[in-house]
Amino acid sequence: MDKKEYYLNNRQKLLDYGKEYYLKNRRKYLEYKRDKYYNDDSFRQKQLNNRKQLFELIWKKTVNHYGGKCACCGFNDLKKKVRQCHFLQFDHINGQGNKHRKDEKYAHLFYWLYKNNFPGEFRLLCASCNVAMEPHEVICEYHKWEGRRKP
């Protein structure tokens, strides 16, 4: 019997064996990784960094999708952080952002947006326009005031 014939005759057996082998080893691998995660500080740090990098990448992708700048003032420094939070933030146009977030299992709104193919009822605002923005408005209260102040 040549190799090919052997394979054809025992295909299902080989597949089952492969599956079993895979599952057994996957469990072992996951256990190994979990132990390493808890016991090895540098491994944990690396894992956490990878996760952070991935999140940062998804954040950037999502920000760019929503125009990459504050919808009110045009602030567009993606790197800027204040108190460890991005200065650019996502805002629900109807002011439903917080309610929305509580309904969903994702801790980060940007991640939820990414997973849901960037729904249209959100926009990007800088932190200062965000706190000064009334629902449904397009210019924040601060910039309205500043606009009035100028002749």
Which residues sit at the interface with Zn ion, rule CB under 5 A? Answer: 70, 72-73, 75, 126, 129, 140, 143
Residue 43 or 137: the one with the smaller Cβ distance to Zn ion is 137
Cβ proximity to Zn ion, 15 vs 138, nearer residue: 138
| Nearest distance in Å: CB 40, Zn ion | 43
CB-wise, 31 or 134, nearer to Zn ion?
134
| Minimum distance from residue 84 beta carbon to Zn ion (Å) | 19
The residue (of 71 and 113) whose beta carbon lies closer to Zn ion is 71
Strand-pairing partners, residue 126, are 88
Are the C-beta atoms of 97 and 91 separated by less than 8 Å? yes
d(CA 107, CA 115): 12
| Contact predicate 124/88, CB 8 Å | yes
In the complex, the smallest distance separating the C-beta of residue 65 from Zn ion, rounded to whole angstroms, is: 18
Residue-by-residue DSSP string for 101-135: HHHSS-S-HHHHHHHTT--TTEEEEEHHHHHTPPT
At its nearest, how many Å lie between Zn ion and the CB of residue 137? 10
**Residue among 58 and 139 whose Cβ is closer to Zn ion:** 139
Shortest distance in whole angstroms from residue 129 CB to Zn ion: 3
Task: Assign 151 to helix, strand or coil.
Answer: coil
C-alpha to C-alpha distances, 73 to 69, 83, 89, nearest whole angstrom: 8, 21, 13
